[in-house]
Structure 1
Amino acid sequence: PRRVNPLSPKNIMVFATGPLTGIRGAPCPGRYAVISKSPKTGAITDSQSGGEWGPYLKFAGFDYIVVRGKSPDPVYLWVHDGEVAIKDADDYWGDDAYGVTDAIKNDTHEEAKILCIGPPGEKESFLSAIMNDKYRAAGRSGLAAVMGSKNLKAIAVHGKRKVPVEDKAGMNKAKKEGIQALQDSDVTKPEGGLNTYGTAVLVNVINENGVFPTRNFQTGVFEDVDNISGETMAGEGPEEFAILEKRTGCWGCQIQCARYTKIKSGPYKGKEGEGPEYETLWSLGADTGVGDLNAVAAANWLCNKYGLDTISTGSTIAFAMEANERGL
C-alpha cells in the first residue's frame, strides 16, 4: 500500500521463482526474486539471486511464498513436499548466515536449501542482504531489513517434485533455441568470457572504457586493476592473487560463471567460498582504492558471513573515505 512503512507488519514480501526455474535444460534455470517495498526508497522493488534455493522451492511444490504481518518471536519457515511449517528460531537469532545455514540443515534435511538473514538484517540495516546457499545474495534495496522487521530468520526448502510442463514439445523447442543462443555468444558459450573468468571478466573491459567506479566514483580508471581482475583470479596475473579453485554455477545453468576461491597466502590465508563477483571487485576494491584481490575476497567472505550487501557496504565505506579526505 502507498503509505505503508516498509518495515511495518503491513508490508508484504514475495519470494518468487520464474516459469523456467527448476526446469533441467532450460537456459539459466536457477534464479529467484524477492519483491517488496524497499526501506531504502519507499518504492516497490525486487532483488534477485541464483544458486539452488529457487529450484528447490519449486521441487517443494511451490512457485512463490507470500509473507504478511509479523511474528511475535523469531521464526523460520520449513517448506517441503507441499507442506509449510513455522518453526521457532529464537536460538538462531543473532547467528551469522554461515552458522544458521548449517544449523537449520541439521534441524530439517541435510539437502535442504537455506535462505536467511544475518545480524544486520535482524537489526533492520539498509546495508543488509538476504543470503541463500551460504554465498549467494539477494542484496539490493535493503530487503533483508524487511525480513528482520518480520522476525523471519530463514526459509528452508526441500522436495523432490518435478516441475510440470504443459507443452513439452514447445518447451523442448524453446530449450534448444535458448541453449543455441548461449553457445553462439562469445560471452556465454563454453570456454567463453563468463565461463572462463566469471563476471570478473568485466573488470578490465569496464576499466578500459573509463567507467570502472574508483575512489567513490571520482574517476573511472583504477591503476591497480590488474591486481583484482578475473584474469588475475584465474592465475594469469600476480601469483599471490591466483585464488580460483574451481568454476561453478547456479542449479542447472550452462554458463557456470560462479567462482569458488581460496586465499592461499598472507593475512587472509584459508578464507574460501564463492566470489568475489564483478560488483564486489569494484565496490570493495577500486571504489575504496584497494588493489589487493586477497583483501577484497576476504571482505567478500565477511559480508557473506554476516549478510551484508557488498555493493552498498563498499559504496558506504568509499563515501566515508572521501568525506574524511575532504574534512567533512
Structure 2
Amino acid sequence: MKTPNWLGREGAERQLLWPCVTLVLLFLLDLWVNPGFLSIRMLDGHLFGALIDILNRAAPLALVATGMTLVIATRGIDISVGAVVAIAGAAAATTLASNAIPTPALVAQALCAALVVGVLSGMWNGLLVSFVGMQPIIATLILMVAGRGVAQLLTAGQIIPIGAPGYLFVGGGYLLGIPFSVWVATAAVLATVLLVEGTALGLFIRAIGVNPVATRLVGLRSKAIVFAVYAFSGLTASMAGILISSNVRSADGNNAGLLLELDAILAVTLGGTSLLGGRFSLAGTVLGALIIQTLTYTTYSIGVPPEATLVVKATVVLAVSVIQSPSARAMAMALITHRMQRGVAR
C-alpha cells in the first residue's frame, strides 16, 4: 500500500528537492562565514541562536505564503496581503488604545478585531474575483492601494505603540523555549495541510486551477471555493499582522507588511507551486519562506551593503527559479548532450 503523501500529489518529493538543496547551500555558506551559525543556546529559559532567529522572522512570511499558495493554486494572485497586514495591526492597536488598562478581555478583542478585518478584506477580494469577475491582480490591487489608506486612517497617520503584555506575548513571547510565533505559524500550516489534504477541498482547488470552466460544468461550486480561498488568504495575512505588530510593539499603517506580498509570491514559487494553477505544495511554501529569510540573514552576515541586498536576493531567487524550471533543465541537458556528441565526433 502506498504511503499517503501530505506534501502534495505525485512528484511532490521532486518538487521539494531543489528548495531543500538551496536551503542546505545557504546554511553551508552561513556556516562557512560564521562557524557558530548552527549553535543554539539556552538563556533565561529561552532558546537563542541564528536558526531560532530565522524561524522567528520567517513565521509571518510562512503564514502569508500559506494563504497565497491556495490562491495561486486556483490561478489567482493576492497582492493586497501586505496592506491587510497593516490593517490588522492597526485594528488591534486602536482597540488596545481605546482603554488604558490592557485587560485579557481587551487583548482578546484586539486579536478578534485584527482577524475579523483580515477575513473581511479577503472576502472583499473574493467577491470581486469570484462573483464580480474581475481579474485577480486588478481586484487585489484595489485593496493593496486602498488598504494602506485604511490602515493610516485607523492610526491617524501615526505609529501607535502597543504595551499590552498579553498581546506582546503572541509575537514576542516564548513557549517551551521556542518563540510563540513559530508555534502559531506551525499550527496554522498543519491545520491547512489537514484541511486541504485530508478532505476533498484540496482536490477541488487543484481542479479549479487546472480547468475552471470544466469544474463549473460538472457542478462544482467553484465560485464559492475561490471566494473562501481569498477569505482564507486574508485570515493568514491578519495573523501575520498580529505577529509583526506584536513583535515590533507598534502598528505602522504606512510600513507594516510593505512588499511582503512579493516575498510571499516568491516563497510560493520557490516551493514548487505553479503560477498556472493546479499544482501546489504547502511544505514547499514553508521551505520557500525559510529560504527567503535565510537568504536575508546570509546577505547581512557576508557583509553585503544594505543598498545591494535586494539585488543579491533577486539574483539568487532567479537562479533557483531557473534551476527548478523543467524546460530550462531540458535545454541545459540538450546543450550538454550536443557538446558531448561534438566532442565524440572529433
Shared fold, TM over 0.5: no
Shorter-chain TM-score: which interval? Answer: under 0.3
TM-score under structure 1 length normalisation: 0.27
Q: With structure 2 as the length reference, what TM-score do the two structures score?
A: 0.26
The structure that is helix-richer by fraction is 2
Greater strand share, structure number: 1
Which protein, 1 or 2, shows the higher relative CO under an 8 Å CA cutoff with sep ≥ 6? Answer: 2
